Amino acid sequence: MTTNTRWQHLIFDADDTLWENNIHFERAIEDFLDFLDHSTLTREEARTVLDEIERANFGVHGYGSAAFTRNLRLCYEHLAEREISEDDLRTVMAFGERILSQPIELIDGVEETLALLAERHDLTLMTKGHPEEQRMKIDRSGLGSYFRHAAVVPEKDAAAYRSLVAQLEVDPARTWMIGNSPKSDINPALAVGLNAVFIPHHATWRLEHQDLNGDGRPGKLLVLERFRDLGRHFLD
């Protein structure tokens, strides 16, 4: 499918669309499971407990490294088979706390593609998580100048997309949400009449997995293999 290359409104996800993010959380989880070393639960079973804790706490603590660190501690306190010491808790929490100090690693093709797209289209950044943490990552990425607006929201759902469209005063039919998460980027955008570009990431957070729901929606759904492929659809 070829898109209309005239002026479009392109809304970009940040984590795992513009830069690597979830790989740092996955490494922390692997180290946590090593440290937990549960005698009866498999690694997958212990991970499922962590998933349940994270789901239960989204509405309370939100997303980001601080919330994740808190969830690791809660999981350890729930599953630990030995007396819990302060040293153990500090070790567990360090797995999550180190995420914030990881360097920003842009995904291949992102900066050069954004530079070209910004010359022809209206670019917005929309990300969820802790506001200070997300804005710090935007600053450290060096990509902020390509976007006329950056929104950090607590959750990326249909209501958040409706609010952003109203705030930006854009035409939904000429607006595209671009991201790697079916749950947060693609399906809710399609649900409110936006178009969407799905760019899969090999390490998308498992709690963001969902079947793509493009059938019967008013918006168009485009699936690409790589970020730089956006140029073939919005620049040619």
Are 17 and 179 in contact, with CB atoms under 8 Å apart?
yes
Domain 9-19+105-234: CATH superfamily, name plus number: HAD superfamily/HAD-like (3.40.50.1000)
How high is the pLDDT of residue 216? Answer: 54
How high is the pLDDT of residue 39? Answer: 97
How many Cα atoms occupy the beta-carbon half-sphere of 43 within 13 Å?
8
The reported pTM is 0.92
Give domain limits for the chain. Answer: 9-19+105-234, 22-101
Tens of pLDDT, residues 105-156: 999 999 999 999 999 999 999 999 999 999 999 999 999 999 999 999 999 9
Confidence of residue 219 (pLDDT cuts 50, 70, 90): confident
Tell me phi and psi for residue 80, to 5 degrees.
-60, 140
Phi-psi region of 51 (alpha: psi -120 to 50; beta: other; left: phi over 0): alpha
Confidence of residue 1 (pLDDT cuts 50, 70, 90): very low
Looking at the chain, the whole-number percentage of residues with pLDDT higher than 70 is 96
Which of 39-43, 181-185, 199-203, 207-211 is predicted with the least confidence, judged by mean pLDDT?
Answer: 207-211
How high is the pLDDT of residue 217? Answer: 60
The DSSP code for 225 is S
Helices (H), the chain: 22-36, 43-61, 65-79, 86-97, 110-120, 131-141, 158-168, 187-191, 230-234
Which CATH fold topology does 22-101 show?
DNA polymerase; domain 1 (1.10.150)
Confidence of residue 59 (pLDDT cuts 50, 70, 90): confident
Looking at the chain, the whole-number percentage of residues with pLDDT higher than 90 is 92
Pick from 58, 57, 26: nearest CA to 157: 58
